[in-house]
Structure 1
Amino acid sequence: MERVDTAGIVGGGVLAAEDRQQGDWERRIAERSEELYRARLVQRLLWVWAVPGTLLVVAAGVLLAVLSAPLSAVLVLFALAAVSVGVAAAFVYRQHFKVRAVDTELRALEGAHREQLLDELATGDLLDAHKRYRAQLPDLIERYRTEARRDRWKDQVLQTVVIGGSIVAATVTATATSVVDVAFLAVGLSLLVALSAALAGYAKYRDRSAAWQQVADALEREYESVELRVGRYRRFTEEREAYAEFAEAVEALRAEKAGRLPSAVVDRLAQ
Structure 2
Amino acid sequence: MPTPQGAPKPSSAQGRVEQLLSITKDIMHTENRIRNARLLNLVIALAVIFGPLALLILTIITIATSGTIDMGRINLSALPVVAISGIICGIAVSHRSEVQQLSVTDLRLKLSLLREQRRLKAADMTLDSRYARSAYKEEILRDVEDFRKQSRYYRRVHNIFQSIIIVGSLATTTVSGIALDSSPLGFVVIATSFMVGLAAGFTGYFKYRERGFYLQQTADAITQEWTAAELAIFRYKNLPEGEQLALFVEEAERLKSEQRKREQSLDQPSGQSRDAGNAG
Q: TM-score, normalised by structure 2?
A: 0.58
Match of 1:230 in 2: 232
What RMSD over aligned residues (CA atoms) do the two structures have, in Å? 5.5
Cα pair 2:30 2:111 within 8 Å, conserved: yes
The answer to whether residue 220 in structure 2 is matched with residue 217 in structure 1 is yes
Q: Deviations over 1:50-97 (max 9, x none)?
A: 67787777777788759812379669979x98xx8xx98xx8xx99x9
Name the residue aligned to 2:26.
28
Percent identity, aligned pairs only, is: 22
Cα distance, 1:188 vs structure 2:
3.7
TM-superposed CA distance for 1:196, in Å, is 1.0
Pairing 1:104–2:109 present: yes
1:263 aligns with 2:265: yes
Instruction: Work out whether 1:190 is the aligned partner of 2:193.
Output: yes
Q: Which residue of 1 aligns with 2:276?
A: none
Shift of the 121–15 alpha-carbon distance from structure 1 to 2, 3 Å rule, reads: closer
Matched, 1:241 2:239: no
Q: Is the contact made by 1:144 and 1:215 (CA closer than 8 Å) also made in structure 2?
A: yes
For the 8 Å contact 2:144–2:219, the answer to whether it is kept is yes
Equivalent residue number for residue 120 of structure 1: 125
Once the two structures are TM-superposed, the CA of residue 43 in structure 1 deviates from its matched residue by 3.6
Structure 2: segments with no counterpart, 5+ residues: 274-280
> Is the CA contact (8 Å cut-off) linking 2:155 and 2:209 kept in structure 1?
yes
| TM-score normalised by the chain length of structure 1 | 0.60
Conserved? CA contact 2:151–2:211, under 8 Å: yes
| Structure 1 residue 197 displacement after superposition | 2.4
Specify whether residues 250 and 196 from structure 1 end up closer, same or farther in structure 2 by C-alpha distance, changes over 3 A only: same
In 2 relative to 1, CA 188–200 (structure 1 residues): closer, same or farther, beyond 3 Å? same
In the TM superposition, residue 117 of structure 1 has moved relative to its aligned partner by 0.5
Q: Which runs of 5+ in 1 are unaligned?
A: none
Moved more, 196-205 or 158-167: 158-167
Instruction: Determine if the alignment matches structure 1 residue 206 to structure 2 residue 204.
Output: no
The answer as to whether partners of 2:168 and 2:196 remain within 8 angstroms in 1 is: yes
Deviation per residue, 1:230-258 (Å, 9 max, x gap): 33255224134323532554466568778
Q: Distance in 1 between matches of 2:196 and 2:123?
A: 52
Amino acid corresponding to residue 266 of structure 2 in structure 1: A
Q: How does 1:45-84 map to 2 (within 5 A)?
A: 45-46=43-44, 48-49=46-47, 65=65, 68-70=69-71
Distance 1:50 1:172 in 2: 30
One-letter code aligned to 1:241: E
Please tell me the residue identity of whatever aligns with 2:106: A
Find the aligned partners of 1:52 and 1:236 in 2 and give their Cα distance.
Answer: 60
Query: Structure 1 residues 159 and 40, CA, compared in 2 at 3 Å: closer, same or farther?
Result: farther
1:161–1:33 CA distance, 2 compared to 1 (3 A) = same
For these two proteins, the number of residue pairs brought into alignment is: 247
